[in-house]
């Protein structure tokens, strides 16, 4: 449990109004009304439907330490693990299915997605994009969306706070990176989830990989790719849950009506948070197949038997049912198990893709938007663009600068002791620089947040969620 200080100078979102909204899920958490300290769950949520109930999700510490050691080892020789043809790479998949340790999740996602390699091969690119003003057409839309992404997460609750600033930077950078694509509203939650786990530059490359490798075309004009995937999902459902398929067909419920948000946001706005993270662990490793499987499992659970269908005879009733999925079907352990067991392969999806594409062309003509081919997961991505060892080297994300005075002292010939000296100096004389200094901090006011904070969004160099100091090992 982390505590979040309110009234710290950064303008807080309207917590009271948030508390009012979805008050049922907040229960009796009266602390939200005007008190200065707010309890967050272990993921940083202060409320909302996705807040953890903390029931089922505790892995024993020794198991977690073991997993961390395994993951560190794996990340340190990533190319060997990923490029091997043997069973070794199967192990990566199994470990993703078990869940990536929270402390390494950000780094693992970046490595799995190939974002790490992209970042190293394009050094300075993000900084370059970040320094450009951007197209006002997109900036306007992005700015209007900033406070509407996970408003219950401590990182995004404050208007103009560091989370929202970084979100702006990442989304703006993408519109400059792909000016022909621009910005789609569904990219914002994706970028926000990434930002909860990594600094802005990494989140940018993660977003690039999702938009171009994992879900190409999802955010492009015309939204043809998402409609095609809707048809693919529906076709796969016929095999997985014929009863559900018949029902949806009977009431002419187009897949677009229920799967748009699911797929475009990779379930980040649908599932409880523990499940979102587990699902994303598998998604980064195995690709879009996981998104399809989650969709199929939910449809099967909700509409899979005649009994269940009795209560939803009609289009609207069915839509309502699919918008309020029973919590037990979304619960972490249940959902992950079902998703792993569901026999829907990459091949099934590709086969259906070809078939649906042909059908699409027959009725709608050629696709307007030519997207790059979809890559099914981490192995395909790394195989397509093999990295050098240098690209996979882990660099420290946060470098604490030694204060000026110490440096000049060292220059005066105390270099011999430097290592020890540095450590003690840091401990004794000056605290590490806070990447998110508060505007009330007099030393830092001038170059961080302008008084009119929201007008002039200029982010910090590193993103660091206060609850997750240990994320960037």
Q: What are the phi and psi torsion angles at 122 (to 5°)?
A: -125, 50
Pick from 64, 72, 139, 256 the residue near another protein by CB under 8 A: 256
- 264 interacts with another protein by CB under 8 A: yes
- 320 interacts with another protein by CB under 8 A: yes
What does the alpha-carbon distance between residue 41 and residue 58 come to, in Å, rounded to a whole number?
13
Q: Would you say 99 and 335 are in contact if contact means Cβ atoms under 8 Å apart?
A: no
Contacts 24+ apart (CB under 8 A), 82-85: 82/378, 82/379, 82/382, 83/382, 83/383, 83/386
What does the alpha-carbon distance between residue 159 and residue 355 come to, in Å, rounded to a whole number?
47
Q: Mark the segment that binds another protein (CB under 8 A) among 67-75, 121-129, 178-186, 445-453.
A: 178-186
- 244 interacts with another protein by CB under 8 A: no
Nearest distance from C-beta of residue 189 to another protein, angstroms: 8
Residue closer to another protein by CB (options 264, 392) is 264
- 44 interacts with another protein by CB under 8 A: no
Pick from 65, 80, 144, 370 the residue near another protein by CB under 8 A: 144
- 145 interacts with another protein by CB under 8 A: yes
Q: Would you say 1 and 40 are in contact if contact means Cβ atoms under 8 Å apart?
A: yes
- 21 interacts with another protein by CB under 8 A: yes
Residue closer to another protein by CB (options 98, 159) is 159
> Is residue 436 exposed (0-12), middle (13-18) or buried (19+ Cβ within 10 Å)?
buried
List the structure tokens of 176.
């400059």
Residue closer to another protein by CB (options 71, 183) is 183
Question: Of 299, 188, 186, whose CA–CA distance to 236 is shortest?
Answer: 299
Cα separations (Å) of 217 from 167, 168, 417? Answer: 21, 22, 56
Pick from 118, 177, 247, 269 the residue near another protein by CB under 8 A: 269
Q: Would you say 279 and 267 are in contact if contact means Cβ atoms under 8 Å apart?
A: yes
Q: Mark the segment that binds another protein (CB under 8 A) among 205-213, 255-263, 274-282, 429-437.
A: 255-263
Footprint (CB under 8 A) of another protein, residues 209-228: 219, 221-224, 226-227
- 153 interacts with another protein by CB under 8 A: no
- 472 interacts with another protein by CB under 8 A: no
**Which residues of this protein are in contact with another protein, per CB under 8 A?**
13-14, 17-18, 20-21, 141, 144-145, 147-149, 151, 182-186, 188, 219, 221-224, 226-227, 254, 256-257, 260-261, 264-265, 269, 316, 319-320, 323
């Amino acid at each position: 449990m982390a505590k979040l200080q309110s009234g710290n100078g950064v303008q807080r979102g309207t917590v009271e109004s948030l508390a009012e909204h979805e008050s049922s899920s907040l229960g009796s958490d009266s602390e939200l009304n005007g008190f200065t300290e707010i309890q967050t769950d272990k993921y940083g949520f202060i409320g909302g439907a996705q807040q953890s109930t903390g029931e089922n999700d505790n892995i024993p510490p020794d198991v977690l330490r073991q997993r961390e050691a395994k993951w560190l080892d794996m990340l340190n020789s990533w190319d060997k693990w990923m490029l091997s043809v043997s069973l070794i790479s199967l192990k990566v998949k199994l470990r993703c299915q078990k869940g990536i340790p929270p402390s390494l999740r950000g780094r693992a996602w970046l490595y799995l997605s190939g974002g790490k390699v992209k970042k190293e091969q394009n050094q300075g690119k993000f900084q370059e994009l970040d320094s450009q003003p951007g197209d006002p057409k997109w900036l306007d839309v992005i700015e209007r969306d900033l406070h509407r992404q996970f408003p219950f997460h401590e990182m995004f609750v404050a208007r103009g706070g560091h989370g929202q600033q970084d979100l702006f930077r990442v989304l703006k950078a993408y519109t400059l990176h792909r000016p022909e694509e621009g910005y789609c509203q569904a990219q914002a939650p994706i970028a926000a989830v990434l930002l909860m786990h990594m600094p802005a530059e990494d989140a940018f490359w993660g977003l690039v990989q999702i938009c171009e490798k994992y879900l190409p075309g999802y955010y492009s004009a015309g939204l043809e790719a998402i409609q095609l995937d809707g048809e693919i999902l529906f076709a796969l459902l016929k095999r997985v849950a014929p009863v559900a398929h018949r029902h949806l067909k009977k009431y002419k419920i187009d897949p677009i009506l229920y799967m748009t948000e699911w797929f475009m946001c990779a379930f980040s706005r649908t599932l409880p948070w523990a499940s979102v993270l587990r699902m994303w662990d598998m998604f980064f490793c195995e690709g879009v197949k996981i998104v399809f499987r989650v969709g199929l499992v939910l449809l099967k659970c909700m509409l899979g038997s005649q009994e269940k269908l009795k209560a939803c005879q009609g289009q609207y009733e069915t839509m309502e049912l699919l918008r309020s999925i029973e919590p037990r079907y979304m619960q972490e352990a249940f959902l992950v198990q079902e998703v792993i067991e569901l026999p829907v392969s990459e091949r099934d999806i590709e086969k259906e893709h070809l078939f649906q594409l042909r059908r699409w062309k027959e009725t709608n003509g050629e696709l307007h938007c030519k997207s790059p081919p979809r890559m099914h997961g981490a192995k395909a991505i790394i195989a397509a663009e093999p990295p050098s060892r240098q690209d996979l080297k882990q660099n420290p994300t946060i470098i604490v600068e030694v204060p000026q005075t110490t440096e000049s002292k060292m220059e005066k010939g105390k270099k011999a002791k430097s290592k020890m000296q540095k450590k003690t100096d840091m401990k004794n004389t000056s605290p590490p620089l806070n990447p998110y200094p508060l505007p009330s901090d007099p030393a830092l006011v001038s170059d961080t947040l302008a008084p009119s904070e929201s007008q002039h969004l200029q982010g910090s160099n590193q993103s660091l969620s206060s609850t997750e100091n240990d994320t960037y090992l």
